[in-house]
Amino acid sequence: MKKNMGTADRTIRTIIALIAAYLYFAGVVSGPLGIVLLVVAVIFLLTSLVSFCPLYTLVGIKTCPTKR
């Protein structure tokens, strides 16, 4: 599995995941919307940890720097 996420993309996803988790556990967002938000946060966190986004391969996006 090749990396397709750059550092900036990984940082932004991690920040969004942390904010979403905080909103859920603080009780700001609850119910079905809170669960969906938490699932998206987990997916963002996992994809940023492994530097690979399966959706990027489908769309053809690559945000990591290429080696020459």
Mean pLDDT on 14-21: 96
CA-to-CA distance for 11 and 44, rounded, in angstroms?
10
Mean pLDDT of the chain: 93
* Distance of alpha carbon 67 from alpha carbon 45, whole angstroms: 25
The residue assigned the tokens 């079905």 is 32
Its pTM stands at 0.86
Cα 4 to Cα 38: distance, rounded to the nearest angstrom: 23
Per-residue model confidence as pLDDT tens digits over 44-60: 999 999 999 999 999 99
Angle, CA of 46, 9 and 52, to the nearest 5°: 45
Query: What is the DSSP code (8-state) at residue 2?
Result: -
